[in-house]
Amino acid sequence: MAERLPLFIGGEFIDSESNETLPVTDPATQEVLVDLPFATPQEIDRAVASAQETFAAWREVPTPERARLMLRYQDLLKKHQDDIARGLSRETGKTFADAQGDVWRGIEVVEHACNIASLMMGETVENVAGRIDSYSYTQPLGVCAGITPFNFPAMIPLWMFPIAIACGNTFVLKPSEQDPMTPNRLTELFVDAGAPDGVLQVIHGGKEQVDALLTHPDIRAISFVGSVPVAQHVYRTGTQHLKRVQAMAGAKNHMVVMPDANKDQVINNLVGSACGAAGQRCMAISVAVFVGEAAEWIPEIRDAMAKLEPGPWDQESSAYGPQITPQARERILGFIAAGKEEGADCMLDGSDCTVDGYPDGNWVGPTLFSNISTDMSIYKEEIFGPVLLCAETGSLDDAIGMINANPYGNGTSIFTSSGGAARKFQHEIDVGQVGINIPIPVPLPFFSFTGWRRSFFGDQHAYGKQAVKFYTETKTVTARWFDEAPAGGPNMTIRLS
Ligand code: NAD
């Protein structure tokens, strides 16, 4: 019998009373790593109640003290980053180097949360009327909740709870049920960093547990990352229950390749961004749009992709790992079959991929389609696998038109040596995150993760200044004083108390 993964409520790791469990498996072997009990309704209520009780005290902890917790946390995360990455690799199948990147990009958000006092600063205007001053504060909301997807089990939880908690909120995290061990490890380190009991709770589960959070009267804000249909459900249900919601969703990211681009850079960047993490990134490039004679490079791109060998996380030669579950693999194979039926040219077919020594892994080989059209299902849907579609257009205007007509707006990129083309692209493109000779333009945490259109529901985005706005209220004070207050005794030190 595999071990059961605990919940974390009120500062304690506890075994759930639930008998409903899901085996969490190694996607390269199907070995069961842990059994995951899904939290009961009573446990969810206890988690929210614990967060609610703790909020009263936590909001009073001075902001620099909250920042110091984040400083200790980022230090511990850095010390343990390789251990976290090893565990993450086992449960997701990501190569070790890619898992290290997942952890690192989360640590960067914690580093940013260390600066919370500056981020929470309000505004002041003196003399808005005779002897009257106005100023604003940002104050925490209360209990916030985060619901995260499988594909970044370190980075995405770290987009959420460190910022929310640094702002003075308390938090309930519901990680993906596919890879919940990494979030539990992040929680252990948060405890080791000195997080007070009740500031963070972790409950495990799936739809039922998410719905309990979305409808819970004591939760003020919900951060969600996942697929489009679930993001829409979360946004609708959460807002119907009068919560603040930010829901980051799925994508179909295009890279425009201009004929004046550096060919070798295009090939390396395109292949890496289409197939890295087995295509399981919301910012993966899944469509390349070749302008004019750049289309002549497609066969070389196919050849470069054909050299990629998927394999287990701890094997040096593995270019990428397996898909997260057998169901995810089946879904991708369904798309590859549909693409062929719909008449696209499958120049590289990864449907029959095998890896020596790992007969049970969820492998999909690199796959490339050309001759695609925008009404095909492989173009309209997010495939979330190592599958690249190649489209051709006669001009940059046509490429921009194609991308703007696609409903998703998470990320896009242009490869060119022309400043004029790049400037036109960045200005006219209807997508929230743009790379210029950068294939996966995920912003660093002093900016925000600004997906648009069907890739995002809400208004304030994840991390950066926008996340601080999301997790706080603004209070504006208009003040008039009639008398001078009497002076206190002298303070002989430089320290404020
Ligand atoms: P998912 O939507 O299946 O699951 C996300 C979360 O929602 C999980 O915690 C899951 O337990 C929960 N959930 C699943 N079905 C639910 C339902 N019917 N009702 C309520 N909750 C439900 O997504 P996933 O497969 O874990 O992750 C991949 C998706 O996430 C892709 O679409 C990817 O593009 C997207 N993603 C987006 C971003 C972004 O920032 N825009 C980042 C990473 C991943």
| Average pLDDT of the chain to the nearest whole number | 97
Cβ(213) to ligand 1 under 6 A? no
Ligand 1 atom at minimal distance to the Cα of residue 282: 34
pLDDT at position 297 is 98
pLDDT band at 133 (very low <50, low <70, confident <90, very high): very high
**139 beta partners:** 473
Distance CA 88, CA 180 (A): 9
The encoded tokens of residue 105 equal 């990009």
Ligand 1 atom at minimal distance to the Cα of residue 231: 2
Residue nearest to atom 18 of ligand 1 (CA): 207
pLDDT at position 489 is 81
Give the distance (Å) from ligand 1 centre to CA of residue 15: 25
Cβ(250) to ligand 1 under 6 A? yes
Query: How much is the average pLDDT of 64-78?
Result: 98
Best residue among 208, 225, 442 to mutate for probing ligand 1, ranked by most atoms within 8 Å of CB:
225
Asked if pLDDT for residue 312 goes beyond 70, the answer is yes
Cβ(324) to ligand 1 under 6 A? no
Best residue among 210, 286, 329 to mutate for probing ligand 1, ranked by most atoms within 8 Å of CB:
210
pLDDT in tens, 219-233: 999 999 999 999 999
Give the distance (Å) from ligand 1 centre to CA of residue 205: 13
Can you tell me which residue has the tokens 């095998």? 354
The encoded tokens of residue 168 equal 């003075």
The encoded tokens of residue 245 equal 């919601």
Distance CA 469, CA 124 (A): 17
Query: How much is the average pLDDT of 147-167?
Result: 98
Cβ(176) to ligand 1 under 6 A? yes
Distance CA 235, CA 247 (A): 6
Give the distance (Å) from ligand 1 centre to CA of residue 325: 14
Best residue among 176, 236, 380 to mutate for probing ligand 1, ranked by most atoms within 8 Å of CB:
176
pLDDT at position 494 is 82
pLDDT at position 89 is 98
Number of neighbours of residue 349 by Cβ within 10 angstroms? 17
pLDDT in tens, 433-478: 999 999 999 999 999 999 999 999 999 999 999 999 999 999 999 9
pLDDT at position 496 is 75
Angle, helix 419-428 to helix 396-405, in steps of 10 degrees: 20
CA 261 to chain CA centroid, Å, is 30
Q: What percent of the chain has pLDDT over 90?
A: 96
Residues, the chain:
497
Residue nearest to atom 9 of ligand 1 (CA): 176
Ligand 1 atom at minimal distance to the Cα of residue 226: 30
pLDDT at position 485 is 65
Cβ(173) to ligand 1 under 6 A? no
pLDDT at position 282 is 96
Query: How much is the average pLDDT of 195-216?
Result: 98
pLDDT at position 490 is 79
Give the distance (Å) from ligand 1 centre to CA of residue 249: 7
Asked if pLDDT for residue 42 goes beyond 90, the answer is yes
Determine which one of 114, 144, 167, 282 is catalytic: 282
pLDDT in tens, 402-431: 999 999 999 999 999 999 999 999 999 999
Quick check: is 390 catalytic? no
Name the nearest CA neighbour of 24 among 263, 200, 184, 227: 184
pLDDT in tens, 255-274: 999 999 999 999 999 999 99
